[in-house]
Amino acid sequence: MNLTLLGGPGAGKGTQAKRLLEKYRLLHISTGDILRQAIKDGTPLGLQAERYLKSGELVPDAIMLGIIEERLAQPDAAAGAIFDGFPRTLPQADGLEALLRKRKSRLNLCLSLEVPDELIIKRLSSRRICNQCGADYNVISNPPPADGKCLKCGGQIIQRADDFEETIRNRLAVYRRQTKPLQDYYSGRGLLRVVDGNQTVDDIFAKLCQTIDDHLKESAGN
C-alpha cells in the first residue's frame, strides 16, 4: 500500500505519518526530513536545497524526483510507503505515478488534511524541535525544558528556520499556488479523501485509520 499525506504546512502530516507507519508497517518518506538532514550534513543536496527551505519555496521537481527514485530503490520500500509532503506539484505527482508504475505498484490513497491558516500560523510559530533527534515540542501545548535540552536525547531545542511568521505565510501561499491543485488531480483519479485536521491528534488518527480500512475492505471486495 502506498499513501500520500497532502496538506499545508503544519497541517499535521508528520505527526500522523509517524502513527500510521506503526499501525500499517509502512516506510515513512518525509521529503522535508530528508532535505533537513542533507542540510545538516552539508551534502551537495543540502547545499542546493538550503535557500529554498529557508524562504519556504519549493526545491525544484527534478531534484525531488531524484530523491524519491533513489529512496524507492532501497529494499525497505518494497512493502509500500507513506509519502509525507510529497508530491507537492503536478509534475511531482506525474513523476511519482510513473516511478510506482515502473515498480508495478501504484498510489492507493491521497489523504488531505485541512486546517485553517490562522491555526497553522499559531501551531508553527509555537513549535520547537530538537536539532539532534527531531523531537517535537510546542511552547503552548508541550513546552520544552527550561535548559533548552531535549528530554529524549539531550540535543539542543531550536525553532525551525522556516517557522517564523513571514516564512510560514509564504509557505501557505506556495501551498495554495502549487500544491492544492493536487486535490483535483487525485480527486479525478478517485483517490482523494479529505480529513478535517482541526481536531485532536487522536481523533484525526482515528478518522485516517477508518478511511484507510474502508479502502482496504473495498479493494478486497473487488
Element (H, E) at 132: none
Q: Which stretch binds ligand AP5 (CB under 6 A): 71-79, 84-92, 145-153, 181-189?
A: 84-92
Query: Residue 199 or 216: which CB sits closer to ligand AP5?
Result: 199
Tell whether residue 86 is a contact of ligand AP5 (CB under 6 A).
Answer: yes
Query: Residue 119 or 153: which CB sits closer to ligand AP5?
Result: 119
165-174 vs 44-55: helix crossing angle, rounded to 10: 100
Which residue among the candidates 36, 123, 128, 171 is catalytic per the annotation?
171
- What residues contact 132, with CB distance under 8 A and at least 6 apart? 150, 153, 154, 155, 156
95 contact, one of ligand AP5, Mg ion, none, CB 5-8 Å limit per kind? none
> How many residues interact with ligand AP5 (rule CB under 6 A)?
32
Rounded Cα distance between 85 and 32, Å, is 7
Give the residue nearest to ligand AP5 (CB): 32
Rounded Cα distance between 119 and 117, Å, is 5
Q: Which stretch binds Mg ion (CB under 5 A): 31-39, 65-73, 183-191, 199-207?
A: 31-39
Segment 116-135, which members bind ligand AP5 (CB under 6 A)?
123-124, 127
The minimum distance between CB 220 and ligand AP5, in angstroms, equals 30
Read off the C-alpha cell for 91: 509534475
Q: Residue 189: what are its φ and ψ, rounded to 5°?
A: -95, 5
* 19 is a catalytic site residue: no
Segment 32-51, which members bind ligand AP5 (CB under 6 A)?
32, 35
Of the residues 14, 60, 80, 155, which one makes contact with Mg ion according to CB under 5 A: 14
β-pairing verdict for 136-138 and 127-130 = antiparallel
120-150 as b/e: b if 16+ CB within 10 A: bbebbbbbbbbbbebbebeeeeeebeeeeeb
Q: What is the dihedral of CA 54, 59, 64, 67, to 10 degrees?
A: -40
User: Checking phi first, is residue 5 left (phi over 0); if not, alpha (psi -120 to 50) or beta?
Assistant: beta
The minimum distance between CB 217 and ligand AP5, in angstroms, equals 26
Distance of CA 181 to the CA centre of its chain: 17
Which residue among the candidates 36, 71, 88, 207 is catalytic per the annotation?
88
Which residue among the candidates 127, 128, 193, 207 is catalytic per the annotation?
127
Q: Which residues bind ligand AP5 (CB under 6 A)?
A: 7, 9-15, 31-32, 35, 52-53, 56-59, 64, 85-86, 88, 92, 123-124, 127, 136, 138, 162, 171, 200-201, 204
Query: For binding to Mg ion (CB under 5 A), which residues are involved?
Result: 14, 32
